[in-house]
Chain A
């Protein structure tokens, strides 16, 4: 946990200080929202709900967080679980508008437009999408990804290889 996160967490825990909470919220919500939005296949309303639930859970459990990982990883792990729960409850595969429109067959990853990429990501199996979004989009290390997903770092690496192949296939780019 960074010093700034630790200081804000301490201020929040000391007397449930709203200002400290808001500072933590502003530091970490952008990435939590993006991750949830993509895990859920581009559903903004569900992503907002996941962000709110993530902070509710975090506020409740922060006192027991020992700082063994970064606060960002810990929060992302909570968000991921909420996303999985949301998908389970809805009994649906991630869908949303993004997936409804298939990526253009001619778009290789190298030249893919942003929308093509978003569509291809949304159409990936959830496990592939999770590791690819965390590692290649958001820049989490394999150690962090492994911790968030609850797998070994080696599993994160092999899963990422499969995910990249699947993404290229969906973008229509042949693998060399």
Chain B
């Protein structure tokens, strides 16, 4: 019991008070005003300036967002700040098109554990799983369902000093048990 019995809320009181939680709403322009205030204070950096050439990661993130996956689903926790001078590499997780349609929650948990271990070793890492449903656009029109034997199942972004280092990390990725991992440096543009 929260309080003494004499001051317990009646159901009507409980409902009446709970209805107050539906308002008032903050003004719509408050978000922009808050963002501008933080920008002026140097506390924010525009995302479009920060993403130097990470077009693939952005596209993949957009797909994941549409599929309802939360950012950092595979990671779950905060990543450490990258070391100065680190480069960004993307680990592209390819798999057989038939395997992509199967959902395996256990595999997702494996990926999460691996990513957390990488992070705990001091490497900044983030990543997302892509939904099986996809649309591939070809020059001249859409091709729903899409051709090809392999599909992109997800990706990880790591911040390390070299391609060799990124490759060494990729070798431990559980995805290699059934699919290919392609390691590419994100080129600043």
A44 to B34, CA, bound (A): 15
Cβ A11 vs Cβ B72 within 8 A: yes
Stretch at the interface among B21-29, B129-137, B142-150: B21-29
Q: Does B153 contact A (CB under 8 A)?
A: no
Interface string of B28-53 (1 = CB under 8 A from A): 00110111011101011111001000
Taking the closest CB of chain A, its distance from the CB of B169, in whole angstroms, is 18
- Per-residue interface assignment for chain A, residues 13 to 53, with 1 indicating a CB less than 8 Å from any chain B CB and 0 otherwise: 11111111111011001110110011000001001100110
Q: Interface size class for chain A?
A: 35 or more
Question: Interface residues of B toward A: which range?
Answer: 35 or more
* Contacts A3-B76, A37-B24; A17 near B16 (Cβ below 8 A): no
Query: Which secondary structure dominates chain A's binding surface?
Result: helix
Whether a CB of chain A sits under 8 angstroms from the CB of B17 is yes
Identify which of A6, A21, A48 contacts B27 (C-beta below 8 A).
A48
Closest chain-A Cβ to B18's Cβ sits at a distance in Å of 7
With contact pairs A16-B45, A19-B47 given, residues A7 and B34 touching in the complex (Cβ less than 8 Å): no
Given the interface pairs A11-B126, A44-B24, A137-B21, the reply to whether A52 lies near B34 with Cβ below 8 Å is yes
Which of B3, B23, B44, B75 has the most chain A CB atoms closer than 10 A to its own CB? B3
Give Cα A29 to B31, complex, Å.
Answer: 9
B162 within 8 A of A: no
- Residues of chain B within 8 A (CB-CB) of A164 are 3, 7, 9
Contacts of A121 in B (CB 8 A): 20
Instruction: Answer whether residue B67 sits at the interface, using C-beta atoms and an 8 A cutoff.
Output: no
Binding stretch for chain A, among B78-86, B98-106, B172-180: B78-86
Q: Which residues of B contact A (CB under 8 A)?
A: 2-4, 6-7, 9-10, 12-14, 16-21, 23-27, 30-31, 33-35, 37-39, 41, 43-47, 50, 70-73, 75-79, 81-82, 124, 126
Give 6 CB contacts A-B under 8 Å. A7-B75, A9-B78, A17-B50, A33-B26, A112-B16, A157-B3
The 6 closest A-B pairs by CB, nearest first: A7-B72, A10-B78, A33-B26, A110-B12, A161-B7, A161-B3
